[in-house]
């Protein structure tokens, strides 16, 4: 099922998602919906917050790699990256964001176990972006105030054009 992606201003984007306590058929359905919605939007990652569901789950698709993050925790981070990021919930806005170049993430699995992922490059950036979403943080919060204000004004102008 393809869900609508909520955009800037929706309260779910600023709220921390609830921890998932146990695997369930609903969780499996949610991850399938996230992958379907992500594919239809042609993005790299999508959190449950972005479809208005406050559950701590996100999906990533970078090249041929598909990853489900359930209750993800970054347990190690090294290096620095300064790459261009956008967000499906803030269409038309891009900025260079400081991130870690490599991260280790511990996550629950759909089967109820635990797993550890080591990400680098684009996958590390996308994972950090989606984990921020689960914490109620947008990539704009990682920017200097003047740049953030400029991009928010730009976004409002873009939205006015779309509404015409």
Is 130 a residue of the active site?
yes
Dihedral angle sign, alpha carbons of residues 51, 57, 63, 65:
negative
Q: Which helix (H) or strand (E) holds 98?
A: strand 94-99
Catalytic residue among 16, 21, 73, 130: 130
The 3 state secondary structure assigned to 54-96 is CECEEEEEECCEEEEEEEEEEEEEECCEEEEEECCCCCCCEEE
Residue 143 · residue 155 · CB < 8 Å: no
Catalytic residues: 130
């Amino acid at each position: 099922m393809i869900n609508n992606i909520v955009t800037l201003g929706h309260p779910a984007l600023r709220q921390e998602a609830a921890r998932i306590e146990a695997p369930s058929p609903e969780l499996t359905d949610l991850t399938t919906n996230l992958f379907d919605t992500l594919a239809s939007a042609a993005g790299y990652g999508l959190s449950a917050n972005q479809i208005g569901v406050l559950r701590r789950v996100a999906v990533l698709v970078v090249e041929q790699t598909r990853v489900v993050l359930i209750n993800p925790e970054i347990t190690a981070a090294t290096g620095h990256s300064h790459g261009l990021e956008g967000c499906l919930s803030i269409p038309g806005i891009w900025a260079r964001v400081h991130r870690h170049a490599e991260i280790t993430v511990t996550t629950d699995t759909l089967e109820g176990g635990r797993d550890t992922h080591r990400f680098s490059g684009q996958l590390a950036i996308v994972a950090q972006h989606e984990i921020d979403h689960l914490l109620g943080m947008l990539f704009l919060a990682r920017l200097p105030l003047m740049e953030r204000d400029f991009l928010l004004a730009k976004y409002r102008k873009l939205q006015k054009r779309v509404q015409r």
